[in-house]
Structure 1
Amino acid sequence: MSHTAQATAAAVDHNPTEQEQQDSLQAHFQPHVSVDEIEQVFHLKRAQPLLQVFTALFHGGFESVLVRLLVLRELANDAATSAFTRADINTRLAYLLPESLETVLNRLRSNQLLAWDAQQGVYRVTPMARNVLSAIDGLLTLGREEDGAEVGFLLSQVAGAQAVGGVTTEQLQHLLGRLVDLTEEFRDAIASGSEFRLRESQAKWHTACDWVEKGSEILRAITSDENADAATHRAAQAIGRAQSALLNMQGMFSRALNQIERQRVHLGQSGLSTTDIKRWLLAHEDLASLAADAIEQPVKPLFITPAEMIDVAETELTTLRPTSAMAGLPSGEDAPLTMNETTAMQKELDDWLTRLSDFATLNNFPSVAEESPRETPVHEALLPASFAVASYRASLLPLLGDEGEASLQGATAELARLPLTFAPTDTMVQLDDMEIAAMSLANLSLNLKDDGKAAS
């Protein structure tokens, strides 16, 4: 072993005493606060051996970390044998310098990532090292997938823990925190009014919804587990509510994009819009290069002082007076004929509003018995209709009971003020329809608190 490797191994093998660690940790806290009184410190100190393993792997520069992970992964991936002689390691990692390999092996060995069997003269990968590598490989694998919402790894941790019966409240809280972050991010995108930000967030929302669908079964298993504690149940229920809030943002995205579509400005009869121009400009990294050879002479700015401005104004006032009275107003012209593209959509909205208003009338609302809740399946209210019309009607259902929309004016505001409640479920119902094979099972019911108003 070289002198450099010996010095490195000696530095790694030096571990401070427990009292030195306690005093060093206490130095980061207020003098009147005891480290042992903080619950999270207790949990982290209990996991000190595992945390020291991560420290041994990831301490230092990126190049050093990469070499340590490379050596450990090369040895752990060899399933043909569980023991490695030094000659085997040298042959397997011949592309590394002997001094660097020696330093890495000493560090892994001193931190219980490699076990040295002195009797047989071989190295073995420890179980803790395999657990650490498995966690890192799982994160790297999910990082390569198309997960714009960054929910896959958190959900995989919850799913794996649930499969072995060891899901913790902390794992659920991490997943809940990410769902809340996504909801706030999507709300900010909708409030921004930017079409590009809206479409980017909508694509991430679709990815998040895919993970929500995969995680619904896991959450149902957690909430139905009688052995789970109260904190786990509360965290799972909070995740369910966060998922519902996330799924209900579909209508908000649709309304925001429709509003942008109505306000889009088109450039004459070219068919181009401001969105097309912005997308074309964003495709160029150097916008200044577009002006190359476009301006023949440089721009010469002209400056004028207030004195010259007064002189020009006086000249205009004294010499350019009108010499004769106006002959009269110009002759009128017919206004250009334009086609209203929203007539069909507005008519469909008015028809749908009339139909729902008829449902909201107490005498027309179906009921099985006098005291039973008055409700009707949504698919009976949506159909018969074409797929496009039924989809448009379904996109308006989340507006029912929306207080923000009800405070506005217009047809959608009248729809939001109807005394109806939209109650969706996760169940699908098969339909005997030419265009729609299945639809989510949901109900439209008359608000009981508004029953007296409807009756009057």
Structure 2
Amino acid sequence: MIDFADFLAPGVAADDVPELAPLAAAAPLIAAFITLFRGSEAEVLMRLLVLREIGQEADAPRWSPDALRGRFTYLDTVKLETVLKRLRDNALLEFADDGLYHLSDLGRNAVAAIAMLLRFSADEDTELGFLTAQLAGLQAVGSVTPEALGHLLSKLNDLTWHFEEAIASGSEFRILASRRRLAANERWLARGTEILNGLLADPDVSFDIARVAQRIGLAQSRLARADAGFQRALNKIEAQRVTLGASGISSSDVSAWLRRLDAARLASLADSALSIVPELTLLAGGHELIDRAETVLCDEVREREIDVALPPPDAPDAGLVPEQDDLALLEHFTRRLDDLADAAPLGAIVAGGGFAPAAYRLSLLALLADGETAIPATGPVGDFMRLAVDVTFGDRLVPLEEDGIAAISDGHVTPRTPQANAPAAALPLLDA
């Protein structure tokens, strides 16, 4: 028995609230949904995943524990067992005497309800589609209730209010979005009309059902007229649209661009463009205004205001020197390699001055070992590329522990002799 004492007002018993009776009677079904949706989002999604996968097997609805583990190999075994136990303990999943799992009646009903909600597309109104489909099913089995019709009527009135508010706002974007929403739900409105025609044509339908059905018909009529209201509002907006010069860009395009910007970007655009208080206060009477008008009409002032002459050009800065790259490290490294007498390991050639200069030298050696890079005719880079040395890179790392370098590729730099063959280059590695 559910205890409502903490929620009811003093002196009120649960039997005094008739609206609680149908909910209390459906406690097992409600407990099933509580089981599914209690906990973190990940836990809820995992329970729904397992329950839906078990329920989708129509030809063989019973599962052995090994079959379930094989089906959910992508889930952690312990977590899977926890989910199965939670579903089994709360009557959503049953474990038969033959050692096989299968969905209970409550579990199958829950899976079917969730599947119906998930089938609607993102453009459609999920609530309207679900309510209409539910009403169609109730009509098919002859169990339509005023409560089910009331839910649909409430949704239609809510849509009508939403569309009327969009038209009253005068916002082109809200009107277009509402129009798309109405177009996406046309099939549900048409299906609702068919259901109403069937209900009102039945001579045995109850008065309460007929009364709500007529109100639904009026609500659908208002929605049918909403599209014409959208078009009239868009025509007014089109008449007021402003085109920015001959660019072809309209005020709607500018508004759409502004709507895509975040708050920080909008604030930066408005910076120095708006002032909280007026920067200049003008106090003038009639005589002052007349004097100002006479001055503005003066030919001399008019010519000065329409003067469009360009300002004089600025003198160029003769002392401005183009920025040049600092190639001192390259030139120093070129002289070192040019004076190299014998073969030396990469570590001894590269190290010195820290990790960054060492990485720079290693990249230069890799460029030199490539052999296919175009060589500039002049300049420090060309001098470096024409050095008579061969660079080899091994496929393993050797420890160095110097200048912040933990390890470096095994390789050598060797002065070239006329008989030496160019060695094959490998990918250099430098580990900090």
Normalising by the smaller structure, the TM-score range is 0.5 to 0.7
Normalising by structure 2, report the TM-score: 0.60
- What does residue range 294-373 of structure 1 map to in structure 2 within 5 Å? none
- Which of 249, 254, 257 is 1:272 aligned to? 249
Q: Is the 8 A contact 2:123 2:181 kept in 1?
A: no
> Aligned-pair distance for 1:249?
2.4
Distance in 1 (CA, whole Å) between partners of 2:187 and 2:58 is: 35
Give the corresponding residue for 2:69. Answer: 90
Shift in Å at residue 183 of structure 1?
Answer: 0.7
- Give the match for residue 143 of structure 2: 166
For 2:106, the equivalent position in structure 1 comes to 128
Instruction: Out of 127-136 and 99-108, give the one that drifted further.
Output: 99-108
Q: Distance in 2 between matches of 1:214 and 1:100?
A: 43
Equivalent position of 1:43 in the other structure: 22
Identify the residue that residue 54 of structure 1 maps to in structure 2: 33
SS in 2 for 1:249: helix
Q: 1:225: which partner in 2? A: 202
Q: What is the deviation of 1:301?
A: 12
Report the secondary structure of 1:36's partner residue.
helix
Contact in 2 for aligned 1:116/1:124 (Cα 8 Å): yes
SS state at 2:119 partner: helix
State yes or no: 1:65 paired with 2:54: no
Task: Indicate yes or no: 2:227 matched with 1:250.
Answer: yes
| Equivalent residues of 2:132, 2:152 under 8 A apart | yes
Q: How many Å separate the matches in 2 of 1:206 and 1:35?
A: 45
Percent identical among aligned pairs is 38
For 2:73, give the aligned amino acid.
A
Q: CA deviation at 1:68?
A: 1.2
What amino acid is aligned across from residue 241 of structure 1 in structure 2? Answer: L
Q: Does 1:201 align with 2:183?
A: no
Mapping for residues 108-147 of structure 1, pairs under 5 Å: 108-118=87-97, 120-142=98-120, 144-147=121-124
Q: Highest CA radius of gyration, 1 or 2?
A: 2
The equivalent position to 1:241 in structure 2, one of 218, 238, 253, is 218
Q: State the Cα distance separating 1:327 from its structure 2 match.
A: 7.9
AA aligned opposite 1:105: L
Stretches of structure 1 that go unaligned for 5 or more consecutive residues are 1-17, 293-297, 331-456
Instruction: Tell me if the contact between 1:149 and 1:208 (Cα under 8 Å) persists in the aligned partners.
Output: no
Alpha carbon RMSD of aligned pairs, Å?
A: 3.7
SS in 2 for 1:248: helix
Q: Using the alignment, how far apart are the partners of 2:228 and 2:234 within structure 1?
A: 10
**Structure-2 separation of matches of 1:200 and 1:123:** 47
Question: 2:199, 2:213 within 8 Å by CA — same for their partners in 1?
Answer: yes
Is the CA contact 1:149–1:205 (under 8 Å) kept in the aligned structure 2? no
Q: Is the 8 A contact 1:113 1:128 kept in 2?
A: yes
Give the conservation status (yes or no) of the 8 Å contact 1:281–1:287.
no
Structure 2 equivalent of residue 182 of structure 1 = 159
**1:90 and 1:165, CA in 2 relative to 1: closer, same or farther beyond 3 A?**
same
Conserved in 2, the CA contact under 8 Å of 1:57 and 1:68?
Answer: yes
Unaligned runs of 5+ in 2: 302-432
Q: CA deviation at 1:229?
A: 2.2
Cα deviation, 1:53-72, whole Å, max 9, x if unaligned, reads: 11111111111111111221
Deviation at 1:204, TM superposition (A): 1.8
C-alpha spacing 1:48/1:279, structure 2 compared with 1 (3 Å): same
Match of 1:100 among 79, 97, 117: 79
Q: Deviations over 1:308-362 (max 9, x none)?
A: 999xx9xxx9xx999999889x9xxxxxxxxxxxxxxxxxxxxxxxxxxxxxxxx
The 3-state SS of whatever aligns with 2:156 is helix
Q: Deviations over 1:374-408 (max 9, x none)?
A: xxxxxxxxxxxxxxxxxxxxxxxxxxxxxxxxxxx
Q: Secondary structure at the match of 1:206?
A: helix
What whole-Å deviation, never above 9, does each CA across 1:109-148 have from its counterpart, x for those lacking one? 1221122223x22222112211110110010111x35205
Instruction: Return the offset for 1:87.
Output: 2.3
CA distance in 2 between counterparts of 1:36 and 1:252 reads 49
Aligned-pair CA distance for 1:40:
1.8
CA distance in 1, matches of 2:295, 2:202: 94
* TM-aligned CA distance change 1:207 to 1:71, over 3 Å: closer
Q: 1:149 touches 1:182 (CA, 8 Å); kept in 2?
A: no
Q: Shift in Å at residue 179 of structure 1?
A: 0.7
The reply on whether 1:31 has 2:5 as its aligned counterpart is no
What amino acid maps onto 1:249 in structure 2?
A: A
How many corresponding residue pairs?
292
CA contact (8 A) 2:117 2:126 kept: no
Cα gap change, 1:71 to 1:309, in 2 (>3 Å): closer
Post-superposition offset of 1:299: 7.4
- Partners of 1:325 and 1:41 lie apart in 2 by 80
Q: Residue type of the partner of 1:107?
A: R
